[in-house]
Structure 1
């Protein structure tokens, strides 16, 4: 009886733990704006850290540059931002960073947006040094 119970528990454990994780992606649109007057900021290097879909226990870094689109400056766009998996969800899996060494006259700044749909739009505000 003990052997049968142990075998059943082990079988259930193997089935439940070997399920493949489902990754959740987002097409991210955003605007980078100056905190003083809400005008868009072009040519800023923006680093986006998200979950690496190939190895969900690691993150990946992608760099994009803000630009003018449809006569609105400060626009940025990134496809396939992995914001969670079937086992990991919530704030903190996507981080957006402005690095002062790559963007003179601006401070280091970090945002952790709450992404949870297939398409999300965010506005980020930053001030000059």
Structure 2
């Protein structure tokens, strides 16, 4: 089976999920979780502008939405807009400074922008946070 044949069912499945989620959003258009899920689906099939627009719309209503900042940063990094990626991810880590995954994302954006010092600082922070036992 060619890679093209294996990708088609996955894309069709994602498109079905997108259509289902869009219908759900019609009855709940301001639900940030549903909008974020739709943005992630768009991003997964390289429909980046649609994904970016959804995450921006979430931030218009809730400028402190960490997930929206994170996904904007990740998508910007994927499309090579590294300054924008770093900006969004820096906001995300300021809002949720105890998240190792956010620090990892920021480290990767810095690394890709060739700012290796900042990449190492962010990576070390992620490692430190990963080693802290979680309170139950």
TM-score interval for Structure 1 and Structure 2 normalised by the shorter chain: under 0.3
Q: Which has the larger radius of gyration?
A: 1
Per residue, is there more helix in 1 or in 2? 2
How high is the TM-score relative to the length of structure 1?
0.23
How high is the TM-score relative to the length of structure 2?
0.22
Per residue, is there more strand in 1 or in 2? 1
